[in-house]
Amino acid sequence: MQGGALGRRALLRGAAAGCAVLALPGCGGAVKMAPAGWSNALGTAYTLPRWKWAPTSAADLVTAVRRASTEGRRIRMTGSGHSFSDVALNDDWLLSPLGLTCPLPVDTGSLRPDAQPETLFRVQSGCTVHALNASLDARGLALPNMGAADVQTYVGAASTGTHGSGLAYGPLASQIVSIQVVGPRGTMLQIEPEGGITERARFGGRLLEAPEVRVELVQKTHLFDALAVGLGSLGVIYAVTLRTTKKFWLVERRTYTTWECLAQPGGVVDRIVAGEPIWPVVPDPSPLGTGPGYPDRSHEPEHVEINYSPYPSPDADKAHVAMLTQRWRCDAPPPGVGGERGSLLFNIGTDFSVLADKLGVLSPFEPKTTASIQKFHATAMKQMSQPYYANDSHDVFTVGAIDDLHVYGIELHFDLARTKAAVARNLEIAGKLADEGIHHSSPPTLRFIGPAQPLLAMQNGRRTVSVEFGIFTGAYGAEELLRSYETAFVGGEYGGRPHWGLDRNYLKSAAAVKALYPDTWGLFLDALAELNPDGTFDGSVTDRLGISRATRGA
């Protein structure tokens, strides 16, 4: 049905929904039947909702959820569509966040004395990471950490466990300290952990920017930890309050090397796992610069990533080329802020590749053999390598234009101690797939993340390494490649946890999730029963996991 003519039953169903929507109070025709349905950014997930609406206020959300609850409908809100899984899908009532993108005032009058209001920032759930960064920057603030893309809505990214790299930092959800969500029967709730930022005796019970909307303060740690990575299944989030940090800059070094060099005994990988400084053993020990403003090279980088090719080089050593990325935080602008990132050839190639991909002509130029793929990986990493680059933190964290390529994939999270074992298995599987003509379009990426409190965060309860596997959407064997890694790594010997937004719907039951989250899954189900008792916020993901209201029983 996607991209084609609508079937008669679907057309009739949509027409009926289009007529009925006019009765929804406060909508004024804003909800409409969408003949093309809704799909994510790459078209890998699709749904044809009965109603589709972009609310513009808290009152809109309350009205919609209250009506859905009264009529026994299921209602959910998408993010910006950059998840590859079914996490946002719902074929009943589907809300868009595009009308809820504004920064909001923090109710400083209700805060505890130790809440540090100067670091708090409140924003509606439809605000993208890019727009959030601009708003924070204008106020001299910044996100403590972020991922490699900024096109997602912040709340959508946080709700699926999205993260950056740095063992001193958890995922985006760890930055959230308070959540305002429209919950059961259209009640606006402000959910915080016990001892949260709000002092109950000073709480006014109404939204600061919309006093007509009543708010109930709920300070329960297990509810907050469930909702922070709630997969959209515990209510419709209206706004979040974040703990930010003072604006900072990053100095970045990208070093071309080999996986064998990084993974040697006592090398970079072993030291990351052991929590030891890596600077004595990095491949490039040269100073970052001399004089005022340059970070001390012996200062440990706060953020480390590793890219590697899963294919051996044609040289006698058969090594796997790799790139080590190190980033140092600076409280003041370091020298050379805002220069070119990567080589001139890399920047020209990136612009060309993005344009060719948008025009649909990139695929014929993709390398086809294992040798050519390996050469492509090596060339790309050489051109991206750079001894010194400095810019605002959010500009360094983001990948840039190359993120616009039509690449999708999966991301799996392992206990940090399993890093070398996971990569070794990756190399083995990649070799077998290559024999069948199936190749990685891009080098896998390792990121290192600290433990997290949210119950379903992939980083819950352990220091984590994430491995991201990306491939062009039209590449031969794309699904087979991604499924091979899910089958090999999820649970079992490796204990891999899929990223909730970057997977191919691999988990099919509550038992499968419980095996990955044995200590927290029961708490999440308790929160589901409390915040989604009638199944109002069920959708494709809860159906797939067998935890929708219909399968939970009366």
In the predicted model, what is the mean pLDDT of residues 390-404?
Answer: 78
Contact predicate 448/272, CB 8 Å = yes
SS3 36: coil
Nearest CA among 322, 272, 323 for reference residue 168: 272
> How many beta carbons lie within 10 A of that of residue 67, not counting itself?
18
CATH of 8-95, one of 3.40.47.10, 3.40.1280.10, 3.30.43.10, 3.40.50.620: 3.30.43.10
pLDDT single digits (tens) 231-275: 999 999 999 999 999 999 999 999 999 999 999 999 999 999 999
Environment class of 332 (CB within 10 Å of its CB; exposed 0-12, middle 13-18, buried 19+): exposed
Q: Which two tokens stand for residue 164?
A: 């950056």
Model confidence at 548: pLDDT above 50: yes
Residues β-bridged to residue 95: 53, 77
Q: What pLDDT does 262 receive?
A: 98
> How many beta carbons lie within 10 A of that of residue 277, not counting itself?
14
Query: What distance in Å separates the CA atoms of residue 109 and residue 520, rounded to the nearest whole number?
Result: 34
Instruction: pLDDT band for 208, please (50, 70, 90 cuts).
Output: very high
Which phi and psi angles does 244 have, rounded to 5°? -100, -175
Per the model's pLDDT, the better-predicted residue between 2 and 426 turns out to be 426
Sorted by where each begins, the domain ranges of the chain are: 8-95, 103-246, 249-330+332-404
Model confidence at 380: pLDDT above 80: yes
Q: Which two tokens stand for residue 170?
A: 């958890």
Contact predicate 222/195, CB 8 Å = no
Q: Look up tokens 């990306």; give the residue.
A: 470
Model confidence at 37: pLDDT above 50: yes
Residues of 33-57 as b/e, b for ≥16 C-beta within 10 angstroms?
bbeebbbbbeebbbbbbbbbbbbbb
State the Cα angle at 280 between 270 and 413, rounded to 5°. 30
Query: What distance in Å separates the CA atoms of residue 391 and residue 340, rounded to the nearest whole number?
Result: 10
Positive or negative: CA dihedral 121, 124, 125, 127: negative
> How many beta carbons lie within 10 A of that of residue 276, not counting itself?
12
Contact predicate 490/498, CB 8 Å = yes
Secondary structure, 3-state, 106-149: CCHHHECCCCCHHHEEEEECCCEHHHHHHHHHHCCEECCCCCCC
Instruction: Please report, in angstroms and rounded to a whole number, the separation of the first and last CA atoms in the chain.
Output: 34
In the predicted model, what is the mean pLDDT of residues 185-202?
Answer: 98
Query: What distance in Å separates the CA atoms of residue 82 and residue 380, rounded to the nearest whole number?
Result: 24
State the alpha helices, DSSP H only, in 441-520. Answer: 478-489, 510-516
Q: How much is the pTM?
A: 0.89
Query: What distance in Å separates the CA atoms of residue 269 and residue 266, rounded to the nearest whole number?
Result: 8
Domain topology for 103-246? 3.30.465
Rg value, the chain, Cα: 24
Model confidence at 15: pLDDT above 50: no
Model confidence at 223: pLDDT above 50: yes
Per the model's pLDDT, the better-predicted residue between 25 and 73 turns out to be 73
Model confidence at 347: pLDDT above 60: no
Comparing 300-314, 344-358, 420-434, the range with the smallest average pLDDT is 344-358
Q: Look up tokens 């030291």; give the residue.
A: 271
Query: What distance in Å separates the CA atoms of residue 540 and residue 288, rounded to the nearest whole number?
Result: 49
Q: What pLDDT does 297 receive?
A: 75
